[in-house]
Amino acid sequence: MALALPRRGLAQIAALIVILLIDRMVSPQFFDLRLQDGRLFGSLIDVLNRGAPVALLALGMVLVIATRGIDLSVGAVMAISGAIAASLADSHAWPVAVAAALGAGLLCGLWNGFLVAILGIQPIVATLILMVAGRGIAQLITEGRIVTFTSPDIIWFGTGSLLGMPAPVVIVVGMLIVTGLVVRGSALGLLIEAAGGNARASELSGVGIRTMVVSVYVWCSLCAALAGIIAAADIMGADANNAGLWLELDAILAVVIGGTSLFGGRFSLVLAVCGALIIQAMNTGILLSGYPPEFNLVVKAAVVLVVLLLQSPRLSDLVANYRKARA
């Protein structure tokens, strides 16, 4: 909705730096890094590593939100994909387990896309169905137990490393690049922003909105499935009750902090990931500070408010335009 000339990203990057500096004040070793067994360790790496699942979710969510939709089912999709990966991890080769988990994500995305784009159900309701049912499906897959596994190949997704970085971080960077190439390397990005900004006008310009909407929900669920594999690998087991629980809300928050409006339109992949890091930097900071974790939620709310206010020059520009128009 903002009509201001672009001035994007400054608020988010400033907020991330400020939070990291505060973390440094709370915990003097915050910026320390050390190399051990060919992998970097330190609180900063921790923020990246712990933030990876939400960052992945945000990468998919930002596209959905840009089309003026929302996907509440990503947490449940994480549980489904984690359950499948865990169930197959020890009995099948790792590519089979991973492909099956991602395939489940693909089906979930098609389902959401079908409800939203073909049947025209409001996204928040359409994805609520899978949000509720998905966790049930995950429990059916694990038969209500916590399924553990020992396959080192799958465990690598959670605790392995590549080029000195934890595997989840590498996966996020890889997905960011792939998503960026797909979205900005094709015309998809422009068409998503046009359809999110004004669906009627875009349709009258010949934009095929249905296919596009289905594909963003599919991509969002694929990202969630990948996040589910990471979460399962991290604990070497699948907990259908708790895997990805409430993470859809963190993902939405990350997207909003990243400056994408819930009314659709302009979006930024990098800033959505940045939003996920802001959230994780806060979580880590509060843990390190020794405050009880209950504070986490309240502090989170306060920081979110501040970041949104920092972005609000857009709003004040709008107000100024409006006043000018009325004067």
Partner 1 sequence: MQETAEARQPLLDVRGLSKSFAALRALDQVDFTLRAGEIHALLGENGAGKSTLIKVITGVLARDAGTVSLDGKEIVPRSAKEALTAGIATVYQEVNLLPNLSVAQNLYLGRQPTRFGIVRDGEMKRRAAELLAGYDLHIDVAAPLGSYSVAIQHVVAIARAVDLSARVLILDEPTASLDRHEVEMLFRTMRGLAARGIGIVFVTHFLDQVYEISDRITVLRNGRLIGERMTSALPRLDLIHMMLGRELSETTEERAVHEKSAAAPCASFTNFGKRGYIAPFDLELRHGEVVGLAGLLGSGRTETARLVFGAERADSGTASVEGKPIRLHSPRDAVQHGFGYCPEERKTDGIVAELTVRENIVLALQAKRGIAKPLSRREQDEIAARFIKLLDIRPPDPERPIGLLSGGNQQKALLARWLATEPRLLVLDEPTRGIDVGAHAEIIRLIRELCERGLALLVISSELDEIVAYSDRVVVLRDRAHVGALDEHAIGVPSILAAIAADDAARIAEEA
Residues near partner 1 (CB under 8 A) are 1-5, 185-188, 190-191, 193-194, 197-198, 200-208, 212, 265-266, 321, 325
Pair type for strands 165-166 and 34-36: unpaired
Provide, rounded to whole angstroms, the least separation between the CB of residue 124 and partner 1: 21
Of 168 and 189, nearer to partner 1 (C-beta) is: 189
Of 119 and 325, nearer to partner 1 (C-beta) is: 325
Provide, rounded to whole angstroms, the least separation between the CB of residue 209 and partner 1: 9
Of 34 and 200, nearer to partner 1 (C-beta) is: 200
The answer to whether the CB of 8 falls within 8 A of the CB of 268 is yes
Of 14 and 187, nearer to partner 1 (C-beta) is: 187
Provide, rounded to whole angstroms, the least separation between the CB of residue 60 and partner 1: 18
Provide, rounded to whole angstroms, the least separation between the CB of residue 259 and partner 1: 12
Does the CA dihedral 128-133-138-142 come out positive or negative? positive
Provide, rounded to whole angstroms, the least separation between the CB of residue 11 and partner 1: 18
Of 210 and 300, nearer to partner 1 (C-beta) is: 210
Of 120 and 206, nearer to partner 1 (C-beta) is: 206
Provide, rounded to whole angstroms, the least separation between the CB of residue 198 and partner 1: 4
Of 112 and 202, nearer to partner 1 (C-beta) is: 202
Question: How many beta carbons lie within 10 A of that of residue 318, not counting itself?
Answer: 15
Provide, rounded to whole angstroms, the least separation between the CB of residue 188 and partner 1: 5
d(CA 54, CA 289): 22
